[in-house]
Chains A and B, each alone.
Chain A
Amino acid sequence: MADAFLEARGISKAYEGVQALRDVSLSIGRGEIHCLVGENGSGKSTLIKIIGGVVEPDQGVVVIGGRPHSHLAAIDAIRQGIQIIYQDLSLYPNLSVAENISFNQFVERRTGFVSWKEMRAIAERGLAEIGESIDLEESVQNLSVAKRQIVAITRSLTQNARLIIMDEPTSAITREDVDHLFSVIARLKAKGISTLFISHKLNEIFEIAEVVTILRDGRKVGDFPTAELDDAKLTYLMTGQRIQYTPYKAPARTAVPLLEVRGLSRRGQFREVSFSLWPGEVLGLTGLIGSGRTELALALFGLNPPDSGQILLAGQAVRIRSPEDAGRLGIGYLPEDRLTQGLFIGQSIGDNIVVTVLKKLLGALGLLDPARRRKIEKRWLEELAIKAPSARVRAWSLSGGNQQRVVLAKWLATDPKVFILDGPTIGIDIASKQNIHEIIRALAERGIAIIIISDEIPEILHNCNRVLVMREGRLEKEIQEVSAVGETELLAVVGGRHGNGEDRS
């Protein structure tokens, strides 16, 4: 491209015998909004790091503003205007907004002294450039994720960024904030600043990106203007497969629901939520982040006791004050973040699996019986097809898909009657995703009542028989028969704007 700001030509990179990238080329024009898409393991993170000078490629060259750089160092990339905003935003929670925004500038300057006046001036200028305003003295730890993103973007701007790279920027913010972010990106474009972002949220990609580059297994599948793509085509290009789904139909309802929630409320999180759940159902719970879905799930799991309302299990009112209670009552919960909430990452797979069922392991003298333990570990390694040489392997050495299966095993071992899965396939490759969906369906067919909390409309459509949509803490809509509803309709219900009748699709 003639006016490309950045070009990556023929990039190859291998790690410890694994070919992460194979002859990948990418071109980003000035002021272009470019999206990098691919499954986990496709090489997108590696490509970003190479562009940013954090990692050196084995082959290939990065061309910035027409000048090739064969050994790009991070500090050079920054000076050339390339800024990477990682998912954790790299902010300092204990420092103020002004400090965070101007921090890197002072570090770069090496003059030794900081001027608080100048710090404020830099921050003010930066925020003004994108038309934002945040309290400069506020500690970043007190800000919402969306505001923190603005701080991170502003920081990049103050370092004369020409290309801002964002890694999954919309995964933890509400719909309104996503809109806000997109308007900021548009303003960046107007200034001639290019944006490259990694995302897996198909509907958002279509909304803001101009060009999509698809990676698969370390190779580039192609660059496509967004207008030429749709969900199905994009998924096919990303995975090389056409996924066929049969909608799920729940069995006939029993007289008494397995779980009944009446008027559950917790101030600031959710209000007057009522619904019922029957055995064998797969209930989808969706809504944007901030709608209170996870908070509601945690209330059912005992980590977030409600202020008022009732929870009934098989017709009996129960109090769930801790995950211990929940476990005893037969409720299991697969957490949103498997790395920090679901797995003891440094411990063995076996330990991770049996931690929830220690009581079952008790043998003679009330001591844990290794034979029983090995039996349980073996059973779940096999049943869930967890790929590992043995149960003694540490959890960190597994792939995302296998790790998630370990967390599943942990809760399935408790023989739950109600199983809540919060974002079960986030950050997992397509093959594992499918596999986990099959496991979920098998569980439902065995009579377990399942709630899936998910952002991904296709996942909801293909797995659930019923859907509850939450918005701003209230149960806004219930879709009784998912198989009767199409994707566009569901999208419209879920993604509707606040107070604005505009249709999103």
Chain B
Amino acid sequence: MEFDLSFLIISVLKITAVLAWIYGLLWVLGHASRAMKAVGVVLAFAVIQLALSVQIGDSAIFNDFDQGLLFQACAMAMVSLGLNLIYGFNGQFSLGQWGFYGIGAYAAADVTYRWTGEDAQGLLVLGIGVLLGGLTIWGVNQFLRRYAGMPVLSAFTLYLMGSIAAWSIAVWLGGALNGLLAPLFGTKDAPGLLSSGPALQVVFFLAVLFAGVFAAEISFLFGLPVLTLGSDYFGIATLGFTIVVNTLMVNSDTILPFPEMKGGRGMIGIPKLTTWFWAFLFLVLVIIVMRNLIHSSTGRAIMSVREDETAAKAMGIDVASNKLLAFVIGSFFAGIGGGVYAHFIGFLSPGTFDFLVGFNPLIIVVFGGLGSMSGSIAASFGWIFFLEGLLRVILGQMGTEAPTWRFVLYPIALLLLMLVRPQGLLGRAEWGFLRAPEVPPRASEEPRRTPVPTGE
């Protein structure tokens, strides 16, 4: 039994460094002056570039294994932030986050996989589809405004019909346009404009974005009727959603028409396009969107639904649409996280999106504190580093049997944490940028006429 103590110390130092970096970034973002923010963000990205490239002796500070953990933690942080919005801030107990994560991963992977195979159809269909689908949802929504009080099932039927029509058009249009674009890829000897590196990067960005929107649109269709259920019933229905999505993944080449996803064998050959820059860019964008949402009046409406639905209704808050909004945005984050994950790992297997693994974001969110964004971020990084990194490597050093102990020790730690701190590590505390901006108090009790500048 060989045990490397220095490895343990170095790993803990690395985790601390990464967490300190993130919190430093958040602190800088929360700084009042705009110049400081810009300088801070640029500095932060420069620091991580340095950390990834500088060598000490013959090994990098963050080797490939650490970098893998870093990307994984970024994806997990996006998923957990989304779930925290749904469960922590809006109070809807959802187990469906993992399904949306999977949808995002597969959708984004399919686009870039086809693109590297010189086939633009994936991007075109997904792009036109999310655009038309979004337009349809918006249009139906406008139409339904005239019919207040329509039963939710009827509304759902209309949305569903509209979306099916929109996606049929998208598939047809995508196929047609693909023929036009095909010459631009060029031949093997003379690669065209579209098979160049920069084009691929743009496609990757679009793929991840569209995958997020796609997940959000599906979550809209699913959430509209299901969000009317009571809390635990909603939880089980969303768990069912994750399982249905997983089953469809296992049968993606037989029941769904996607032979390139290879069903239960797993999708291989996804271009590994996620770099530290993309991963952190998406994470920072998600954090900024989430923070601004939470501290807006919409965010307060979302939180009021968690506190007391009846009281919120009495204050004139549209409970149903606020629940839906939180659910859709949360799923959007999950979809983006999935896209980032798919392009870092390069291989997607339905086993990754099993509902058992799907409890992980829930555990992370509760670990970090329900209703604390800082907690979710810290818990995601800590969780991935400890469970996937530290425990795996340390137990791996201790013998062949030991790695299975990882999942024996982990529930015990979970039980202890729940006994000691049932409200999570951070409770509802926030840090730096994520704290509520300080709005200057109003001068008088008069109703305000001009919009008061916010703390930004």
B and A form one assembly: no
B contacts, CB < 8 Å to A: none
A contacts, CB < 8 Å to B: none
